[in-house]
């Protein structure tokens, strides 16, 4: 496709999908990465994968579920790569994402970022994306029991962190 050629019908439908998907999935990406800039990069990379399969995906009832899975899989790959490279997963301090103003949102975000990768993914998909346990298991490629146990551990850790009076001050 050259810049002077008009977009095909498939490309036009993909552009329309991206316009909706960006707003719908940027927050999920931010919760997975903990950082606006990394979230945008993650979402862009995932949208490229969607585009590569768009002719088939556009016929699905919900191509957003494919994008959601791509986001989680891509972020999981990043976490695994970091672990293999023995990098310290220290998230840099940046301003809170738009819409997350206030000290409570900052404290909750920091607590969420302290969770292990799989627990964070489960909490974000289950409680932010409001997916069922079965849907989370499908996205993560694990059993429903794993989702339940990871969710319980994560919520327990969040409760513990958020109940500590010193957590909000020391972080």
- CATH number of 54's domain: 1.10.1740
Distance (Å, whole) CA 140 – CA 122: 8
Q: Is residue 1 in some structural domain?
A: no
Tell which residue, 151, 17, 129, 133, has the closest CA to residue 72: 129
What residues contact 121, with CB distance under 8 A and at least 6 apart? Answer: 32, 72, 75, 76, 140
Do 90 and 11 lie in one domain? The reply is yes
Q: Which of 94, 129, 163 is the last residue of a domain?
A: 94
Q: 105 and 89, same structural domain?
A: no
Question: What's the rounded mean pLDDT across residues 50-61?
Answer: 87
For residue 136, being part of any structural domain is answered with: yes
Give yes or no: residues 72 and 147 share one domain. Answer: no
* 57 is a domain residue: yes
Full-prediction pTM beyond 0.75?
Answer: no
Domain count, the chain: 2
What is the CATH number for 142?
A: 1.10.10.10
pLDDT value of position 3: 62
* Mean of the per-residue pLDDT values of the chain: 82
Residue-number span of the structural domain to which 106 is assigned: 97-171
């Amino acid at each position: 496709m050259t810049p002077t050629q008009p977009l095909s019908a498939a490309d036009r439908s993909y552009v329309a999908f991206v316009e909706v998907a960006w707003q719908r999935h940027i927050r999920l990406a931010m919760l997975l990465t903990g950082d606006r800039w990394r979230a945008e990069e993650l979402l862009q990379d995932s949208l490229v994968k969607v585009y590569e399969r768009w002719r088939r995906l556009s016929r699905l009832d919900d191509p957003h579920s494919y994008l959601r899975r791509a986001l989680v899989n891509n972020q999981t790959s990043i976490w695994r790569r970091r672990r293999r490279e023995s990098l310290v997963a220290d998230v840099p301090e940046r301003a809170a994402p738009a819409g997350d103003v206030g000290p409570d949102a900052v404290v909750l975000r920091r607590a969420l970022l302290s969770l292990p990768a799989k627990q964070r993914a489960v909490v974000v998909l289950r409680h932010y994306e409001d997916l069922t346990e079965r849907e989370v298991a499908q996205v993560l490629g694990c059993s429903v029991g794993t989702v339940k146990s990871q969710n319980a551990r994560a919520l327990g850790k969040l409760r513990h962190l958020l109940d500590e009076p010193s957590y909000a001050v020391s972080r």
